[in-house]
Structure 1
């Protein structure tokens, strides 16, 4: 197979590695503490840990895309904002 069309740069590899590490971490967390105690947060529907991870990843993607479109290619502040967003999602949603 020829993957020369893909831009496998260091940031791309780190991005996919981080997503894989998050999924593995959630699987280990679920193995040692099954169930995850679904709860109702500010969105007023039941969410589990996996739901909150998905919401935080989806929101972080939108934050980074908006930053890229409105501010420019310096995404370090968007990353910091995404981390704060993810912490808020896991705390309040």
Structure 2
């Protein structure tokens, strides 16, 4: 059933984190309903809005990292492409920033 996708450890960790975030956000919403607030994003958002925007940003960071992997090898004369764990940590940091300050 899942043969169409390459299930590496980073991919599995990324999707597991998304599922855990959705479960956590559901429980948080039940315990404490959200209110609109204005952060540094140009719109008033709820927690769910910030999660969605943050997940999109995290996906873009990971896609850009994978896309630039070959170029980074050329530019910096690396022996192999940089690990996707760097983009994972960066994207989760960006997501946390958007959730907290956005």
Would you call these one fold, judging by a TM-score over 0.5? yes
Aligned mate of 2:98, from 79, 86, 89: 89
**Aligned: 1:63 with 2:61:** yes
Task: For 2:62 and 2:44, locate their aligned partners in 1 and report how far apart those are by CA, in whole Å.
Answer: 27
In 2 relative to 1, CA 52–64 (structure 1 residues): closer, same or farther, beyond 3 Å? Answer: same
Contact 2:62 2:87 in 1 (8 A): yes
- Structure 1 residues 1-93: aligned runs within 5 Å: 2-34=1-33, 36-71=34-69, 72=81, 74-93=83-102
Structure with the largest fraction of strand: 1
CA RMSD of aligned residues (A): 1.9
* Matched residues, number: 91
Unaligned runs of 5+ residues in structure 2 are 70-80
Unaligned runs of 5+ residues in structure 1 are none
Q: Deviations over 1:33-71 (max 9, x none)?
A: 01x121112122110000111111100000011111113
- Determine which structure has more spread, i.e. the larger CA radius of gyration: 2
Higher RCO (Cα < 8 Å, 6 or more apart): 2
